[in-house]
Amino acid sequence: MEKELKLSTINWRIHTMIQNGILQRVGRGKFKFGKERNYLPEISPFMKSIYSKVKKEYPYTDICIWNTASLNEFMIHQPFKFYYILEIEKEAMNSIFYFLKDLNFSVFLEPTTDILEKYTPDNKQIIIIKPLISEAPLIKVNGITTASIEKILVDIFCDSITFSAQQGSEMRTIFETAFTKYTVNQSKILRYANRRRKKENLIEFTNTISNLRQQ
């Protein structure tokens, strides 16, 4: 039996086990058995178009775009209305809102529940502009900056207005399915929840879900 293994040896063995699909990393210094399953959302032509237009006009502004339709794979009841979420540095939100509005896009700036219910047509591609929280966990897919699974889960937990269709029992289903299908990094999800001042609330919520308590 080996004694007093060097830290470098332990790290290398962990790395090898991750590469071989024996372990998956779920947080800083946290692992569980199983192959890592990374979440990679589909980037539609419309998302690419919006992202390219905004980046061309505002090249130095950080932005993130994703579609609430990507939540369908985690849900039981499929909503009839979807939104493109365009998150932008707060200082540039108004400018980009009017820029897209001038291009005749159906765009809304941090809309209320009333506005979403009354003024967002079902048959149009709706863009909702929201502030991009600093240090949000983002990923790059086909050159487009979009939301990671950790960010999506925290966002629907924190925002019951934009994500009204994902609340209640549906949100429990989304969390359960996401943690089952993909590798969700606990450190990232809690750090981002803390940035949104909802860390303790999120911990309390996940502790009520059986397959999350064991993470």
**Mean pLDDT over residues 50-79, rounded?**
93
pLDDT tops 70 at residue 40? yes
- The answer on pLDDT for 149 being more than 70 is yes
SS3 string, 27-75, reads ECCEEEECCCCCCCCCCCHHHHHHHHHHHHHCCCCCEEEEEHHHHHHHC
**Which of 32-46, 105-119, 177-191 comes out lowest in average pLDDT?**
32-46
Tokens of 158: 């924190």
State the pTM of this model: 0.80
Is 28 among the domain residues?
Answer: no
- Does residue 112 lie in a domain region? yes
Residue 50 lies in a domain: yes
Residue-range definition of the domain harbouring residue 89: 45-213
Yes or no: say if 48 and 56 are a contact pair by the CB < 8 Å rule: no
In this structure, is residue 13 part of a structural domain? no
Is 120 domain-assigned? yes
Residue 116 lies in a domain: yes
Residue 2, domain member (yes or no): no
Q: Name the domain count of the chain.
A: 1
Tell me if 11 is assigned to some domain: no
